A = this chain, B = another copy of it.
Amino acid sequence: MTSFSFNIHATDGQARTGTITTVRGDIRTPAFMPVGTVGTVKAMLPESVRDTGADIVLGNTYHLMLRPTAERVARLGGLHRLMNWPRPILTDSGGFQVMSLAQLRKLDETGVSFQSHIDGAKYDLTPERSMEIQALLGSDIHMVLDECTPFPASEAEAESSMELSMRWAKRSKAAFREAPGRALFGIVQGSIHPHLRERSAHALRDIDFPGYAVGGLAVGEGQARMFEVLDFTVPHLPQERPRYLMGVGKPGDIIGAVLRGIDMFDCVLPTRSGRNGQAFTKRGTVNLRNARHTDDPRPLEDGCGCPACRQYSRAYLHHLVKAEEILASMLITWHNLTHYQGLMAGLRQAISAQTLLERASSLQAQYGSGDIEPI
């Protein structure tokens, strides 16, 4: 059986393109992982997600542990079978959503206690329980339980939070349920402080993970500061292991992070925006709710091969958004995921051809500030 591995095919400056091999298939990097929160990439059939070019999707441990529950997913044959996605799945640890969504949480050395946002039931999440849940879900890449340090945080807060995360990383590794081709990734914390990020990276390398994530970003610090953190963090990560920037992001964020050596991304933006009538195009974001599309017979984006662009007009998409039709969410999500996967394919190609550095600035300019119109 193939084990988990990462091969870098080409580099261009700090950027790299390669292949992560898992028992459930290859992941071409840089890779974008659509988010399948509760076992579905919202408004998409899984075969359509694959058609957009996705090699891997993300599942949220927090949501799945509450409903349908990890034990039930396991009884039903695991997450891949349940959601009809036979390819790789990465699950997060549940920590991020517990901190941001759950009520009345209590965090201590052991872990975190919280109440479900669905029915108020009480749960405990520890590194050990997170490893158990992710094994029950059966995902291919597990993430250590960490505390996503809030932003802003004082340096002292950032330090003690990072140190807690490092102790949890060690416990996560010890509790990780090995399986053929399954991998556990560590997560670097340390907020915006270079020496904390460096200490965190080295602590994780001492534990030794097959992949490393950069956590605690995209939480309000802004793109410039995020890039700065990557600039001083990524050099401390091992060259030969995949690097994953969690929860990022806008196309411009992704381009900048790839330039800084990141290999993997996940974000709800293409799917959530799709349900809000927001479309990503090479010329910027388009709000299809806007009245200027009412009579526009043109496709959303020329040359795009997705069903929304091949078969429908902007006027029709506008109409569907205004009428709050499910088909609006289906088509615009499909377009956005196609766009994101096209962006990733273009980045991989540019790295292979060693033209990324010269193309990146014009690419980023196309996207403008990357700020999507207010919803």
Write the residues of chain A forming the contact surface with B, with a CB cutoff of 8 angstroms.
38-40, 42-45, 67-68, 72, 75-77, 82-84, 275, 294-295, 297, 307, 311-313, 315-316, 319-320, 322-323, 325-327, 329-330
B83 touches A39 (CB 8 A): no
B316 touches A39 (CB 8 A): yes
A-B contact pairs, 25 of them (CB 8 A): A38-B319, A38-B323, A38-B325, A39-B316, A40-B327, A42-B325, A42-B326, A43-B327, A43-B330, A45-B327, A67-B319, A72-B294, A72-B295, A75-B295, A76-B297, A76-B313, A76-B315, A76-B316, A77-B297, A82-B315, A82-B319, A275-B326, A326-B326, A326-B329, A326-B330
Q: Provide the bound-state CA to CA distance between A295 and B326, in Å.
A: 28
Chain B residues closer than 8 Å to A316, beta-carbon distance: 39, 76, 82-83
A84 touches B320 (CB 8 A): no
B294 touches A68 (CB 8 A): yes
Q: Provide the bound-state CA to CA distance between A354 and B323, in Å.
A: 45
Choose among B67, B82, B275 the residue that contacts A313 (Cβ–Cβ < 8 A).
Answer: B82
Q: Provide the bound-state CA to CA distance between A119 and B45, in Å.
A: 34
Which single residue of chain B is at the shortest CB-CB distance from A63?
B323
A39 touches B297 (CB 8 A): no
Q: Provide the bound-state CA to CA distance between A295 and B73, in Å.
A: 9
Chain B residues closer than 8 Å to A294, beta-carbon distance: 68, 72
A315 touches B68 (CB 8 A): yes
Given A75-B295, A295-B72, A329-B326, also A319-B84 (CB < 8 A): no
Chain B residues closer than 8 Å to A319, beta-carbon distance: 38-39, 67-68, 82
Instruction: Enumerate the 10 nearest inter-chain pairs by beta-carbon distance, A residue then B residue, closest first.
Output: A43-B326, A84-B311, A40-B327, A68-B319, A38-B323, A40-B325, A82-B316, A76-B315, A76-B297, A326-B329
A315 CB → nearest B CB, Å:
5
Q: Provide the bound-state CA to CA distance between A261 and B295, in Å.
A: 44
- Among A40, A43, A315, the one with the most B-chain Cβ atoms within 10 Å of its Cβ is A40
- Among A68, A72, A75, A307, the one with the most B-chain Cβ atoms within 10 Å of its Cβ is A68
Choose among B42, B45, B307, B323 the residue that contacts A307 (Cβ–Cβ < 8 A).
Answer: B45
Which single residue of chain B is at the shortest CB-CB distance from A46?
B311
Choose among B67, B82, B295, B322 the residue that contacts A323 (Cβ–Cβ < 8 A).
Answer: B67
Chain B residues closer than 8 Å to A326, beta-carbon distance: 42-43, 275, 326, 329-330
A163 CB → nearest B CB, Å:
36
A327 touches B42 (CB 8 A): yes
Q: Provide the bound-state CA to CA distance between A335 and B301, in Å.
A: 32
A271 CB → nearest B CB, Å:
10
What would 17 more interface pairs be, CB under 8 Å, given A39-B316, A326-B330?
A38-B325, A39-B319, A40-B320, A40-B325, A42-B327, A43-B326, A43-B330, A67-B322, A68-B315, A72-B294, A76-B315, A76-B316, A82-B316, A83-B316, A84-B312, A275-B326, A330-B330
Chain B residues closer than 8 Å to A297, beta-carbon distance: 76-77
Chain B residues closer than 8 Å to A72, beta-carbon distance: 294-295, 315
Which single residue of chain B is at the shortest CB-CB distance from A324?
B38
Choose among B44, B76, B312 the residue that contacts A327 (Cβ–Cβ < 8 A).
Answer: B44
